[in-house]
A and B are shown apart, each in its own frame.
Chain A
């Protein structure tokens, strides 16, 4: 039985996709809400490549509501509130779901907005053990690639790599040795999800370019397409 109609704060990264997956188990997710920030250093938002997020929403099959923000501190919170308010009006959402794991800064601000708008707020991976979480992502069937690295000692091999059991073991070692957050909660990693159990279609990358230098790297997807899942298995 469906419990609530929910909107998911959506960046296209693994955390918001996995939070969406959890929410869909017993609830109806009726809207993905993406805040598109012009500020690459935003404290609040994982600045998504909007074309990628659009593709992802289509792959999952849930309407995407995009909302622009200049990304000025605190003003962007008003933009987030306006976006959530628009989702409430358009889709009749009763609550918001986020992929927050550790950030008290982000979590507290979303909680306040939800309180002001009389909405429920759910954070299904809040305080989760990060290594266990990465293993869970794999065992649940999510295909996640690393689209950005931003910390020592992550080398070029991580850029564009798929998160698999071997990579999780490496991240666990780096956590013990360098205090890297294995799930990238400290901004060490940026990810993109290509497939998963809630995907109606999977994403195939046709062309991408890598840049890397001084422990900062990007995997830029230049062309991609949606594939039927049966087509993908052939």
Chain B
């Protein structure tokens, strides 16, 4: 069972079908069950019994999650693999001391994978769909997996299986979700 956390502005919002349901569909196609909880419902105990956690993205204008970073304190103690997508990456980075910074980008762009990982594979160029106003600085204990220090596209915790990607893998890069499910 994979826990999908909805970071959108409220539970059951119109954004859920755009940012959570496509991830759920990818997880199902990868052969895993999932359940969805809104971030306001997750205190930490809800993770018990889940193999992995995915923090989903939000609409461009939605930054309610960034005003509630304290409610994600459970992330630092989490024992299972976590993948943060876009807003989810910002939440992970912020929980570990990174700063959410202005980094607006919309549309398909080339992304350079600079470090080989189990999630994104070997170093190479890929094309990814961006939809964000903000990015995140590199928190202590993380390494850059894709992009540059001033424009981080993906990072990974140096010791824990915690990943963040700023672009949206549900668009044209569903293999990333599949690899995370199978990690």
Contact = CB atoms under 8 A, between A and B. Distances in A.
A118 B133 CA distance: 12
A122 B22 contact: no
A209 B10 CA distance: 48
A119 B130 CA distance: 18
A126 B22 contact: yes
Interface in B100-137: 104, 106-108, 129, 131, 133
A26 B17 contact: no
A61 B51 CA distance: 48
A170 B26 CA distance: 24
A111 B131 contact: yes
A118 B21 CA distance: 25
Nearest to A126: B18
B110 to A, nearest CB: 14
Contacts of A27: 14
Contacts of A115: 60-61, 104, 106, 133
Contacts of B153: none
B175 to A, nearest CB: 14
A27 B60 CA distance: 18
B60 A124 contact: no
B139 to A, nearest CB: 27
Given A111-B131, A120-B59, A22 B108 contact: no
Contact of B59 (A25, A118, A121): A121
Contacts of A3: 10, 13-14
A118 B22 CA distance: 25
Contacts of A125: 17
Interface in A88-129: 95, 97, 104, 108, 111-112, 114-115, 118-129
B17 A129 contact: no
B14 A104 contact: no
Nearest to B170: A127
Contacts of A124: 14, 17-18
Contact of B21 (A111, A114, A119, A128): A128
A26 B12 contact: yes
Contacts of B1: none
B15 interface: yes
A23 interface: yes
B18 A123 contact: yes
Contacts of B14: 3, 22-23, 25-27, 97, 122, 124
A129 B25 contact: yes
B106 A104 contact: no
A126 B14 CA distance: 12
A127 B12 contact: no
Contacts of B61: 95, 114-115, 118-121
Interface in B154-183: 170-172
A111 B106 contact: yes
Contacts of A22: 14, 17
A95 B61 CA distance: 10
29 contacts: A25-B14, A26-B12, A26-B13, A95-B61, A104-B108, A104-B171, A104-B172, A108-B131, A111-B106, A112-B106, A112-B107, A114-B61, A115-B61, A118-B61, A119-B61, A120-B61, A121-B59, A121-B60, A122-B14, A122-B15, A122-B18, A123-B18, A124-B17, A124-B18, A126-B18, A126-B22, A127-B18, A128-B22, A128-B25
Given A104-B172, A119-B61, 15 more contacts: A23-B14, A111-B106, A115-B60, A115-B104, A115-B133, A120-B62, A121-B61, A122-B14, A122-B18, A126-B17, A126-B18, A127-B22, A127-B25, A127-B171, A128-B25
